[in-house]
Amino acid sequence: MGNARLNRWSCCLVSLLLLAPLMFGSGRCAAETNDAPTPIPEIQAAIRSRLENHGDGDTVGCQGEILCGTQLLPTAYDKRDDLPLWVDDGCSVERATHLFDLIGKATEDGLNPADYHHHAIQHLLAAICERRTTGIAVPPAWWADLDLILTDAFLLYGSHLSTGRVNPETLGTDWKIHPGSVDLMAVLDSATAPDGNIETAMDALRPPYDGYHSLRRALARLRVLAPANGWPTVAGDKTLRPGDRAAAVTALRHRLTESGELNPARPVTDTAFFDSQLAAAVKRFQRRHGLEPDGIVGRKTVGMLNVSVEQRIRQVALNLERWRWRPRDLGNRYVMINTADFRLDAVEDGQVVVTMRVVVGRPARRSPVFSARISYLVVNPYWNVPTTIAVEDILPELRKDISYLSRHNIRVFENWQSGAREVDPATVDWRAYHANRFPFRLRQDPGTHNALGRIKFMFPNPFAIYLHDTPHRSLFRRAQRDFSSGCIRVEAPMALAHFVLAENPTWTDDKLAELIDSGETRTIRLRHPVPVHLVYMTAWTDETGSLQFRSDIYQRDRDLQKAFDRHHPKRSPGLAFMPDTPDGQTRDWKNKFDGN
């Protein structure tokens, strides 16, 4: 076996078999058919031939499908001396059909069975069945191809279930996620062992989070609505308020009944009247979609109401993918920030013990997605103004009024080096400086008006992002809170400090408050750094199992959907030896195996 074929996971596809169009007759693919099982050594030799006859960089091909496991396929079979994994001594297809069934359920995880050779496996199994029911021997090469393509499908499907179908770091420079690795070969060993359970092995590859499985169940519920034409639309030409009577209120009532906010069992004599029960249902809907829960159906609420079931299904599928990107071990104590929900949760032993609102980066300065560890706090911090903010936000202001700096307690230093000389801003011709020429460091002194407030929480990362207090408290009352320059402003810094300092008993709440009041700038290092995870989830289920949706403020759903759409199962042009079954000739071939 060449080493080069073990060096990458490359998608490749060649078809190898020429099968006549499938004509199904009576009979069963059962043990009593006239064909004799193909000797396992012949299948073994065919598998070995397939794997050995492709050179470095060439492909292993089966049934017109591009096999993606060029790296792992040889490894999977080397350790078994090229014996088949899915076909036993009696050439039973029971395990093959079981895996086929599981691949067909990939939609339950928001994935596409076509990505895992589902159509080709179906055709090959049907062709084998046709041979066996007519008593014609199945060529060893057919069995070899079936085994190889099933193994490739298992590995690719397993890879997507465990770490995601799309590499998040290809979506933009503000994604730095490392889901970790899963030993796919060990899982394959477990699934194909004589006493192995394929379904159990596959399920173990899914993210080990209740949130993933709950969202998966929510996807199934949404799909029940889709064939019934989803839910009705609500006219948006007029704002609807409690006390109104209009035809649009009837549609609103129907819409909220379909999605579960309004109890259909309660009798209503006037469906066009906007009563208090309907107002309560509107508020439930608004809270579930991150809107101001005022009970008034205005433009934003109508927009959310009229998002189709199909769009919500796609949104849930995208967020299942984001679950698959998460590290398998989040930590026993950690901080989770969902920037799409403008919310921070501090979690201990699987329970949320502190929750608060946050302000995140505006769309032009998006807060990134990554994991790090809070390692220290700074009390009464200075704010060294990032150059981008200095040039884009502050420079235009001080060009108009030099007193802007003194009014905001901002001092000017000649450069960013340690010990740099302070500069009198009145001596600088600020009109001569711009984005490509700005050597100065602007620093805001600690105090009640400091942009970082009284505490900042530091976790070294490539984006220079951190959490911090803020003097601008009114922004936390907004439903949509994307106003910062990328860093995260926290609503309750003292509560967060209490959580991260829990294992530093010398720092009581009183002692921390005393230090803040003193005005002294001080760094407090944590004995045990606390993991912090910045995520972007626009759909999830809450603690009650209720499905939550949020607006795609950074257009990341759009970008991920484009990445999904760019991938299509590849086929080998001109080399597809097995034609599709003519219309009307496809039957439920699985029934023909009669459990064999």
Q: Is there a contact between 377 and 455 (Cβ–Cβ < 8 Å)? A: yes
Q: Are strands 455-458 and 467-468 parallel, antiparallel or unpaired?
A: antiparallel
CA–CA distance, 370 with 104 (Å, rounded to integer): 33
Contact 335, 346 (CB under 8 A): yes
What does DSSP say about strands 12-13 and 66-67: parallel, antiparallel, or unpaired? antiparallel
Pairing of strands 351-361, 488-490: antiparallel
Q: Which residue has the tokens 């006239």?
A: 34
Distances (CA, A) of 547 to 8, 282, 388, 542: 39, 15, 38, 7
- 468 is known as an active-site residue: yes
b/e code 203-232 from CB counts within 10 Å (16+ = b): ebbbbeeebbbbbbebbeebeebeeeebbe
Can you read off the two tokens belonging to residue 195?
Answer: 């006493």
**Measured distance CA(423)–CA(359) in Å, rounded:** 33
Q: Are strands 369-379 and 455-458 parallel, antiparallel or unpaired?
A: antiparallel
The token duo for 397 is 């202001």
- Which CA distances in Å does 491 have to 265, 287, 292, 443, 535? 40, 19, 18, 24, 18
How many other CB atoms sit within 10 Å of the CB of residue 266? 8
At 214, list the tokens: 């709950």
CB 79 within 8 A of CB 6: no
Q: CA 354 to CA 347: how far, in whole Å?
A: 7
Of the candidates 54, 68, 487, 533, the residue annotated as catalytic is 487
Q: Which residues are bridge partners to 176 per DSSP? A: 370
Give the C-alpha separation, 61 to 410, whole Å.
Answer: 66
Q: How far apart are CA 396 and CA 340, in angstroms?
A: 30
Q: Which residues of 40-67 are buried (b: 16+ CB within 10 A; e: fewer)?
A: beebbebbbebbeebeeeebbbbbbbbb
Listed in sequence order, the residues at least 6 apart from 323 whose beta carbon sits closer than 8 Å to its beta carbon are 207, 209, 211, 212, 215
Alpha-carbon gap, residue 562 to 172, rounded angstroms: 13
Catalytic residue among 118, 289, 468, 533: 468
Please give the positions annotated as active site.
Answer: 468, 487
